[in-house]
Amino acid sequence: MTLINYYKQLIFLIPISLVISNFATNLILILCSILFLIDTFRYKLFNYYKINFSYIFLIFFFLINISALLNQNILSFKYSIGFLRYGLFTILIFYILDNDKNFIKNFSYILLATVIFIIADAIIQKTFGKNIFSIRLQSYTTELEYVTGLFGEEKKLGSYLARIFPLIVIGGIIFLKKNKNELFFLPEILLIIIGIIIIFTTERVALFIYLSIFLVILLKSKIFFKNKILWYLLITIIFSTIFFLNPEIYSKYKSVIYQSGIVHPGFAGNDPTIVKGGYDTGLYYFSKFYSDQIINSYNIFKENIFFGIGPKNYSSFLNNAWHPHNYYAQILSELGIFSFILFLFIFLFLFFKFIKIFFFKKLSSEAEEIKFIFITFFMVSLLPIPNGDFFNSWLCSIQFLSLGFYLYYEK
């Protein structure tokens, strides 16, 4: 019996650690990755590395370390060398799923229990103004309040629920299989409630990711939402009512079209140069801020075409942002053209795979549905939309955890 059977128990803590401690999540990933690397040589587990993911990951890992080496920044080496843990952790997840048939069930139960607790806490915060730990609703300068739940002042609740959504769906499938004739509609209700909570977090990217996956499930799934017309009507009524009763929330989401300059809410008073709400005039990529970061990234790239300025060095060149808030802009400026081409290739591969399945293939099994949900998640996550820091350990932990599950269903 390999030692993996012991330290894999730490992975059950990840859904909880992602909420309470980024340090704990990192510690779990690093510890599991190091021990798995040791056990790989002890038990000769090399066959699990002979997959396309490993080859692509190693190429990318090589490129980001070349970038860090050429720029000789100690901080860059911290992120470039440390990136190896995500590849090892992904293969570890794949290995565990392939050798422990109870792991998915046990992990799903823990994840569902964690998510239900988070949702209940968020509902309490929204209803009473503070959650069970007396953390109050957060608010913008416009006094619009939004839900953060157990994340406190950090605006991450929506991102957590949206990015871990594919794993929640797996839990829902397991629940349905075990309770075929009892409470069969509860997973669908949970999936809808998650969307409602995300709306009240006012996290626009999180809502976009959630809706993309949710619509794929609604349109393509044979496991969930079997009575399609009834569910279409119910969901439309629910979400329309929420926005109707909360016009300030609706305005927050609608503001993205004002920030982009595609439409503006009119001029302030009689002055044709001042737009209501303080929005900038002109057309922008989502907003003037995001457009400026892309322009800045391109200017940096022009001076460092092949290997960029090094991982996490964007803030060293500019004072107005830690990162460009766009994966493509960040990779282009920090890692250079070779990493950018590889990243773009991965996105295009997922995009065309998504199109092929969505329009031309029927999902005939549970595994096919789960695999397609993961493809949707990764494809949407890699769209050229505003995003967090590419090297952010919290985001990477969720995405590479999901990638390990995808590799298992893809095999």
136 phi and psi, to 5 degrees? -80, 160
Task: Pick 303 or 72 by higher pLDDT.
Answer: 303
Q: Write out pLDDT tens, residues 193-236.
A: 999 999 999 999 999 999 999 999 999 999 899 888 999 999 99
Closest residue by Cα to residue 334 from 84, 59, 75: 75
pLDDT given for residue 181 in this prediction:
58
Q: Return all residues near 109 (Cβ < 8 A) that are at least 6 apart.
A: 171, 174
pLDDT given for residue 203 in this prediction:
96
**Res. 117 pLDDT band, cuts 50 70 90:** very high
Half-sphere exposure of 22 (CA within 13 A, CB side): 9
CA dist 340 and 352 (Å) reads 18
pLDDT of residue 270 exceeding 70 = no
Closest residue by Cα to residue 346 from 309, 314, 390: 390
Chain-centre distance of CA 135, in angstroms?
24
- Whose tokens are 């953390």? That residue is 135
CA dist 215 and 218 (Å) reads 5
- The DSSP symbol for 361 reads -
pLDDT given for residue 344 in this prediction:
97
pLDDT given for residue 220 in this prediction:
94
388 to 57, 156, 296, 332, 334: CA distances (angstroms)? 20, 11, 17, 15, 15
pLDDT given for residue 2 in this prediction:
65
**Res. 135 pLDDT band, cuts 50 70 90:** very high
pLDDT given for residue 184 in this prediction:
64
Q: What is the mean pLDDT of the chain?
A: 91
Average pLDDT over residues 344-367: 95
Pairing of strands 138-139, 145-146: antiparallel
Q: Which of 57-66, 147-156, 318-327, 341-350 has the lowest mean pLDDT?
A: 318-327
**Res. 384 pLDDT band, cuts 50 70 90:** very high
Q: Determine if residue 145 is left, alpha or beta; phi over 0 gives left, psi from -120 to 50 gives alpha, anything else beta.
A: beta
Tell me the pTM: 0.94
Total length of the chain: 411
SS (H, E, C) 118-176: HHHHHHHHHHHCECCCCCECEECCCCCEECCHHHCCCCCHHHHHHHCHHHHHHHHHHHH
CA dihedral sign, ordered 150, 33, 402, 109: negative
CA dist 28 and 387 (Å) reads 25
CA dist 83 and 351 (Å) reads 25
pLDDT given for residue 259 in this prediction:
85
Q: Which of 28-32, 210-214, 279-283, 334-338 has the lowest mean pLDDT?
A: 279-283
